[in-house]
């Protein structure tokens, strides 16, 4: 064999071996990412912020979908079957659709009580209740109001709970998860003064909600929830309730009607007109393209401030 040909073949073999080695390194690294499935998008955003390059996170609840009443696709059980960690809102928000999916997935890692099952409502959240409630009466918040993720304090508690759970599942990156949760705390803390300033003109304003999705947000911002279009969470309104609601809203000088982007707007629009209020359509969850919790709060406060 000619020397230059032999050298060429040797180089080719070396190049092939290098590519193989690189592929060999890349495959375990990709496989080692913690697979996280969340129900709502906001939890997915928090996982991405805390987990960074060590996680692969997907959310099941799409945009403008009522998280109480998701209609699951068969692929969701397949997604759950390979998950290392399932994170859900709890307080029965997902009661109608998540337990059957977890059963279908046949994945012991994410069953209730396993390390791979995190109920975010256990992260030290101060749960609001609207008095005695039962599902028998049609109320879909029997364990308290589950829409707690829309305040920074709660989001940060959830983020730290996520960091702790990721560290338990993936101890090699425990310090990184903790650092990332602390970095998120710093970003949110740095934005608080601006949020307070944006919300200042709204302080004390009366609001009517469609569903009780905004109770935590309004309390944080100093707004006053004077009533809801649904007489109980999940129960559709009747004319008598709506007439009483308009009277109350007028008497208390309410300024805004807040409606979730997944509810029909005609009733909310009518109540706003009758009560002399502005209608605000707010997303109650992050979207599939939301990249940070700060971005979500910025969006919500921007919509609220724009409507006053
Ligand atoms: Zn609800």
261 burial level (CB within 10 Å; 0-12, 13-18, 19+):
middle
- Of these ranges, 29-38, 109-118, 127-136, the one predicted with the greatest mean pLDDT is 109-118
Task: Give the separation between CA 227 and CA 233, rounded to whole angstroms.
Answer: 12
d(CA 96, ligand 1 centre) in Å:
12
Q: How confident is the model at residue 189 (pLDDT cuts 50, 70, 90)?
A: very high
Name the pTM for this structure: 0.89
CB 93 within 8 A of CB 67: yes
Q: How confident is the model at residue 307 (pLDDT cuts 50, 70, 90)?
A: confident
Give 92-125 pLDDT, tens digit per residue: 999 999 999 999 999 999 999 999 999 999 999 9
The string of DSSP codes covering 75-125 is: HHHHHHHT-SEEEE--TTTTTTTHHHHHHHHT-GGGSTTSTTEEEGGGTT-
Per-residue confidence (pLDDT) for residue 177, from 0 to 100: 98
Q: Is 232 helix (H, G, I), strand (E, B) or coil?
A: coil
d(CA 234, ligand 1 centre) in Å:
7
d(CA 270, ligand 1 centre) in Å:
22
d(CA 232, ligand 1 centre) in Å:
10
Q: Which residue has the higher pLDDT, 164 or 63?
A: 164
Give 51-77 pLDDT, tens digit per residue: 999 999 999 999 889 999 999 999 999
d(CA 94, ligand 1 centre) in Å:
10
d(CA 77, ligand 1 centre) in Å:
24
Task: Give the separation between CA 280 and CA 302, rounded to whole angstroms.
Answer: 11
Per-residue confidence (pLDDT) for residue 171, from 0 to 100: 97
Task: Give the separation between CA 266 and CA 185, rounded to whole angstroms.
Answer: 39
153 burial level (CB within 10 Å; 0-12, 13-18, 19+):
middle
d(CA 230, ligand 1 centre) in Å:
11
Extract the runs of DSSP E, i.e. beta strands, from 236-295: 256-260, 278-282
Per-residue confidence (pLDDT) for residue 185, from 0 to 100: 98
- Kindly list the structural domains of the chain, giving each domain's residue range(s) and its CATH number in brackets, ordered by start: 29-123+136-191 (3.40.50.1980), 196-307 (3.40.50.1980)
Per-residue confidence (pLDDT) for residue 138, from 0 to 100: 83
d(CA 161, ligand 1 centre) in Å:
22
Count of residues in the chain: 308
**At residue 178, does pLDDT exceed 70?**
yes
Task: Give the separation between CA 202 and CA 272, rounded to whole angstroms.
Answer: 17
Per-residue confidence (pLDDT) for residue 197, from 0 to 100: 96
Phi (first) and psi of residue 170, to 5 degrees: -130, 70
**At residue 6, does pLDDT exceed 70?**
no
Name the average pLDDT for the chain: 91
* Lowest-confidence region among 9-18, 125-134, 219-228: 9-18
d(CA 19, ligand 1 centre) in Å:
52
Task: Give the separation between CA 274 and CA 244, rounded to whole angstroms.
Answer: 11
d(CA 140, ligand 1 centre) in Å:
7
Q: How confident is the model at residue 31 (pLDDT cuts 50, 70, 90)?
A: low
d(CA 68, ligand 1 centre) in Å:
7
Phi (first) and psi of residue 66, to 5 degrees: -70, 115
d(CA 72, ligand 1 centre) in Å:
18
d(CA 112, ligand 1 centre) in Å:
22
Give 253-269 pLDDT, tens digit per residue: 999 999 999 998 999 99
Phi (first) and psi of residue 34, to 5 degrees: -75, 125
Q: How confident is the model at residue 24 (pLDDT cuts 50, 70, 90)?
A: very low
| Among candidate residues 139, 34, 8, the one with its CA nearest the CA of residue 87 | 34
Give 199-231 pLDDT, tens digit per residue: 999 999 999 999 999 999 999 999 999 999 999
Per-residue confidence (pLDDT) for residue 130, from 0 to 100: 75
Q: Give me the residues near ligand 1 (ion), CB cutoff below 5 Å.
A: 233
CB 55 within 8 A of CB 34: yes
Per-residue confidence (pLDDT) for residue 2, from 0 to 100: 52
Per-residue confidence (pLDDT) for residue 9, from 0 to 100: 47
Task: Give the separation between CA 94 and CA 28, rounded to whole angstroms.
Answer: 34
């Amino acid at each position: 064999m000619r020397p230059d040909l032999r050298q060429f073949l040797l180089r080719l073999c070396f190049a092939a071996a290098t590519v193989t080695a690189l592929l060999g390194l890349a495959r375990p690294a990709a496989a080692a990412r913690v697979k996280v499935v969340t129900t709502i998008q906001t939890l997915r955003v928090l996982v991405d912020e805390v987990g960074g390059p060590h996680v692969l996170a997907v959310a099941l609840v799409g945009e403008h979908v009522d998280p109480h009443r998701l209609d699951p696709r068969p692929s969701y059980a397949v997604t759950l079957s390979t998950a290392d960690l399932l994170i859900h809102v709890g307080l029965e928000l997902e009661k109608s659709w998540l337990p059957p999916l977890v059963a279908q997935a046949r994945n012991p890692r994410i069953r209730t009580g396993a390390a791979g099952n995190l109920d975010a409502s256990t992260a030290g959240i101060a749960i609001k209740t609207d008095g005695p409630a039962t599902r028998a009466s049609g109320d879909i918040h029997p364990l308290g109001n589950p829409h707690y993720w829309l305040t920074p304090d709660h989001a940060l508690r959830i983020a730290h709970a996520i960091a702790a759970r990721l560290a338990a599942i993936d101890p090699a990156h425990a310090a990184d998860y903790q650092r990332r949760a602390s970095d998120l705390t710093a970003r949110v803390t740095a934005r608080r003064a601006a949020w307070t300033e944006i919300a200042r003109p709204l302080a004390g304003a009366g609001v009517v909600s469609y569903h009780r999705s905004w109770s935590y947000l309004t309390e944080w911002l100093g707004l006053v929830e004077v009533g809801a279009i649904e007489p109980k969470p999940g129960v559709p309104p009747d004319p008598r309730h709506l007439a009483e609601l308009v009277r109350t809203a007028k008497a208390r000088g309410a300024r805004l009607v807040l409606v979730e982007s997944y509810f029909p707007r005609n009733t909310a629009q009518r109540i706003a007109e009758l009560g002399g209020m502005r209608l605000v359509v707010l997303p109650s969850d992050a979207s599939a393209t939301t990249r940070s919790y700060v971005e979500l709060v910025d969006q919500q406060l921007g919509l609220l401030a724009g409507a006053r």
